[in-house]
A and B are shown apart, each in its own frame.
Chain A
Amino acid sequence: AQSVTQLDSHVSVSEGTPVLLRCNYSSSYSPSLFWYVQHPNKGLQLLLKYTSAATLVKGINGFEAEFKKSETSFHLTKPSAHMSDAAEYFCVVRADRGSTLGRLYFGRGTQLTVWP
């Protein structure tokens, strides 16, 4: 079975400071992992994805994430926060095998607040 745990429900940073959103995953095999962002009253936008290629994945808007198998982690980072980064972020694991092939499993989300 697949699952993800987002370790922080809320993260607050000042504009221009680094962002770290933490995610641990559980999977019986090497999974596909994603980070999505959801702005208020908007749908989900894909930030980046890991699909067993390079372990350091670069996404849109300066975000990146590192897949660490030994730690079962896929933390999202950004060197310098911008006010427009304030949103809800979801870590997601995709079932790549079996009867649930293609199904996405979402974490509970991390609300990022950026202070001026």
Chain B
Amino acid sequence: DAGVTQSPTHLIKTRGQQVTLRCSPKSGHDTVSWYQQALGQGPQFIFQYYEEEERQRGNFPDRFSGHQFPNYSSELNVNALLLGDSALYLCASSLHRGNEQFFGPGTRLTVL
């Protein structure tokens, strides 16, 4: 079992650009959550996808959007990048209503 995988591992963008991050959940999991971890902070919940729909959303602007595919993989899109979007973006997978979330290694996004 490969666990949760994310791509790319690192990404450098400039202000105003758009970025897409990808996540493949652990085998058998159907729910994907995304978190943003700024430097020196704990991860903050962005949103959660189940059955290809956004089920919950944290306190993030509409510039952050996502998608879940029929194979349960997911994308996180961020438009009009700001310097403050620089962070480690973590994907976590779980069973719907399951108790434990498994995290991927993250994508380090740097906005210049």
Contact = CB atoms under 8 A, between A and B. Distances in A.
B45 A103 contact: yes
A34 B99 CA distance: 10
Contacts, number: 57
A107 B45 contact: no
Interface in B61-90: 90
Given A100-B56, A103-B56, A43 B105 contact: yes
A53 B58 CA distance: 29
Nearest to A107: B42
Contacts of B102: 46
B90 A43 contact: yes
B31 A102 contact: yes
Contact of A49 (B45, B58, B90, B100): B100
Nearest to A103: B45
A108 B105 CA distance: 19
Given A106-B44, A108-B41, A99 B56 contact: yes
B45 A51 contact: no
B99 A94 contact: yes
Interface of A: 32, 34, 36, 42-46, 49, 51, 90, 94, 99-109
Q: Which 10 A-B pairs have the closest CB atoms?
A: A106-B42, A44-B103, A43-B105, A43-B103, A106-B43, A108-B42, A109-B42, A103-B45, A43-B104, A107-B42
